[in-house]
Amino acid sequence: MDTSTLQHKKVKLECLNAEERRAHAKETYAQKSYFQTLFNADEVNLSCKEHALQFQAEINRLVTEKNILPTIVSLESMHQYIGDELTAYDFTHGVNKLSSYFYQTDDHFKKVYHQFIRFLRNEIVKEPFLFQATPTIRLHCPKAINANLYPRYHSDIFYGHPPEEFNIWIPLTPKLGGHGFSIMSVDESKTELNKFNYDFAEFVGSATHDRSFSAHCESVAHAVEANLGEMFLFDSRCIHSGEPLKEHTRVSIDIRLLPLSQYQKMTVEYRGTGRLKILFELGHCYHELNSDQL
């Protein structure tokens, strides 16, 4: 089916008033998700060894080609060779300069990424899906300036993503003392959201600025345990956060998928609340081609 010609009559999320948004959020969390039906769980670790190693090699290649380092070192030891100005987090977005080097990749990286998308289509998701056009590459270093900005508990839905998506997170460094990534179940997420009457902005405000609530979220969440060579898939409604790294650099890639069947049923048009205000539509956040057209 040519999805580019599909006409959706969608309501823009930003046009809903506060009460309608809360009702929509509550309904979203009340349903059994596509992810839960597919995996019978809120989260799952699955093997993707060949692809994880390919991604790892790609990051190593880009580190030298972008002149971040003159030679290849193990990714988990990168912090030993780079300065604080690259590892420090900015206050507004909690992003470090090191990760921003990877906003742009190249054709070879895209080829590796599209091979991974085909693997997901053939082995994991048994139907066509839309996928994030540009995967998010993150590099977090231990003892970074402003590391106390983390944790920042959230679900991507709180920042405008469609709840019909699901998340895939791939570690490209070994777990060592922990990946610095924690997550709640859907039920735990519901319990926390209920305290804010499903007002996402209020939740994010407290999780970001109220240290005791942030500590509470930490106590509820559990550490992501995927080993290098595995990927961690989760229901997009799960509240999660990065945590400061202790001893090693953690490199990871995350992407979001949206099954075509879900996309076709969506009645709301979603737009990101971040700097780019990106639209979650084909040819915008998602690649212009779906998995089966790639």
Site string for Fe ion, 105-144 (x = CB under 5 A): ----------------------------------------
Minimum CB distance to Fe ion smaller for 87 or for 252? 252
Minimum CB distance to Fe ion smaller for 156 or for 192? 156
Is residue 243 within the footprint of Fe ion (CB under 5 A)? Answer: no
Minimum CB distance to Fe ion smaller for 51 or for 240? 240
Q: Per DSSP, what are the bridge partners of residue 96? A: 89
Minimum CB distance to Fe ion smaller for 42 or for 156? 156
Minimum CB distance to Fe ion smaller for 156 or for 230? 156
**Nearest approach, Cβ of 161 to Fe ion (angstroms)?**
8
Q: Select from 43, 156, 230, 235 the one that contacts Fe ion (CB under 5 A).
A: 156
The site for Fe ion, by CB under 5 A, has a size of: 1
**Nearest approach, Cβ of 196 to Fe ion (angstroms)?**
18
Taking CB under 5 A as the binding criterion, the range among 7-15, 135-143, 154-162, 285-293 that sits at the site for Fe ion is 154-162
What is the separation, in whole angstroms, between the first and last Cα of the chain?
A: 13
**Nearest approach, Cβ of 201 to Fe ion (angstroms)?**
16
**Nearest approach, Cβ of 274 to Fe ion (angstroms)?**
11
Q: Are 129 and 258 in contact (CB under 8 A)?
A: yes
Minimum CB distance to Fe ion smaller for 60 or for 241? 241
Minimum CB distance to Fe ion smaller for 156 or for 235? 156
**Nearest approach, Cβ of 1 to Fe ion (angstroms)?**
30
Taking CB under 5 A as the binding criterion, the range among 110-118, 151-159, 189-197, 205-213 that sits at the site for Fe ion is 151-159
The residue at minimum Cβ distance from Fe ion is 156
Q: Which of residues 250-269 bind Fe ion (CB under 5 A)?
A: none
Secondary structure (DSSP) of the chain? --GGG-----EEGGGS-HHHHHHHHHHHHHSPPHHHHHHSSSEEEEE-HHHHHHHHHHHHHHHHHTTS-SS---GGGGGGTS-HHHHPBPTTT--BHHHHTTSS--HHHHHHHHHHHHHIIIII--S-EEEBSS-EEEEE-TT-TTGGG----B-GGGGT--TT-EEEEEE-S--TT--SEEE--HHHHHHHHHTTTT-HHHHHHHHHH-HHHHHHHHHH-EE--PPBTEEEEEETTS-EEE---SSS-EEEEEEEEEEHHHHHH--EE-B--STT--B-SBTTTB-SS-TTT-
- Where along the sequence are the contacts to Fe ion (CB under 5 A)? 156
